[in-house]
Structures are given as structure tokens and as C-alpha cells.
Structure 1
Amino acid sequence: MGSEKLSVEELDFRINGTGNSIGMLLAHFVALEKIYQFLTIDGKDLPDKEIDRYAETLQPALSLGEAGTIINGNTAKFYLEDLKTREITLKHFQQLQDSWLYETTPWWNNEIGNNYYKWLVSCF
């Protein structure tokens, strides 16, 4: 069965009522993508109040668990449309030289990180 055929109930199902639902995980992928776009494509550095405000709108999907329980009631079409945010990343990556991957900027806790590491971390 393709993901576009999942019902809202299937997307919202949480094993034993406590796990993350499929919908929560899909929202998590999108939230991470948007944050990493903001950090690397828009070139904002952490910590920054602007990033904190941006993250607040995505916080339930970033946190998952109990915070993510408000992510429900959406159709598969909604999530598939939201996942198109990846197209922005791919278009941006196509325009970059490989050297961009090794450019460093401050990262969490004022550590230095390169874009390669940042996008690798976003995949986990």
C-alpha cells in the first residue's frame, strides 16, 4: 500500500497510545528540513532569537513524544504536500559548489560545524 492511501486513523495511530505516529514522524522530517534550511541556506547562526521564534512554530514536530500529540487529523495528501519542502533544499544544493559543504559556522553551544555535518545530523 502506498503512503498516499493511508487513512487519517492510520497516520495518527500511536502504538500502545504512547509512540510517535506516522503523521508525527512525517511532520518531524519537515520541521527538521525547515530548520536546517534556515540555518544553512538562509545562513542564520545559533543561538539567535529569530531562530528560536522560528523553532517555536515547529516545536511539537521537533520534540515529538507528548509535545507531538497535537499533530493529528491530517490526511496523507497534507503530509505529502508538506514534504515538498525538500524540493527547496535540492534546488539549493544543485546551485552550490562542493566547497560549501565544508564552510563552517557557529553551531549549538557555540561549537563550530560545517554544512556537511549539519545536513548529516539532520538525517538522524
Structure 2
Amino acid sequence: MAGDPMDEYEPLNVSEFAADCRTRLALDLLSGTWAGVVLWTLQHGPLRPGEMQARIGGISHKVLTGTLRHLERDGLVTRRRYAEAPPRVEYELTGPGRGMLEPLAALGRWTERYADEVVDTRDRALSER
């Protein structure tokens, strides 16, 4: 198809997504429901968990905490604890976390282009059951 956005990408060998291949790392890092949303929310600078929760909406404190722990473990965010009473904690993107913003933006562009088509197809499939 002319003008297909996939025309600009080199084809990948299927083996590049094998279970033991490092190429899957980015997919694995973003496989959780909230990881990409949390990274995107931190794009303009450090935030406290309560600020993130308010901006994101629909995420529980427990799920946000777990997501932040995973992102910190993987080196995509840093946690800064301030010695104040009460203690204050902020999270911020690291270099690799900031590097995930462009792939996330690409996913956003894909969604703008294809979301209606995907939802319509899904709805048709569900109605045919």
C-alpha cells in the first residue's frame, strides 16, 4: 500500500523476537498496562506519586507503586526521597526512560491513525459471537 508507515522500517527477522533475544526488551518493559502511561506522565519532570495518580486517573495507589518499583528496578525511573517530615518522594525519568518517550509517541500516532478501525473490528467480532 502506498504511503504505508511500515515502508520506512527495515523488516525484522522472526528470530529477533525469540524468547532469549534482547530485541524483546522494550516490548517486555512496556508490556504492563500502566508502564507506558507512567513514563509518559513523567516526561516534563519529577512528580510525587499522588501527583502522578491524579494526572493519570484510574490507577490505584497499589498498582502505581508496583509499576514505579518495576520501572525503578529496570532503570527507567529514579526515586528520590527527601529527608523531611513527612517524608517526600519523587520519581523522575532516567536517560533510558526518557529514551522511551519517542517509541511511546510513535504508539500514540499509531493509535490516532488506527484506533477506530481496531475498535470497529473488535466490536464486529464480539457481535458475531
TM-score class normalised by the smaller sequence: under 0.3
Q: Which has the higher contact order (CA 8 A, sep 6+)?
A: 1
TM-score for the superposition, normalised by structure 1: 0.27
Structure number with greater Rg is 2
Kindly indicate which of the two structures has a greater share of residues assigned to helix.
1
Q: Name the structure where strand makes up a greater proportion of residues.
A: 2
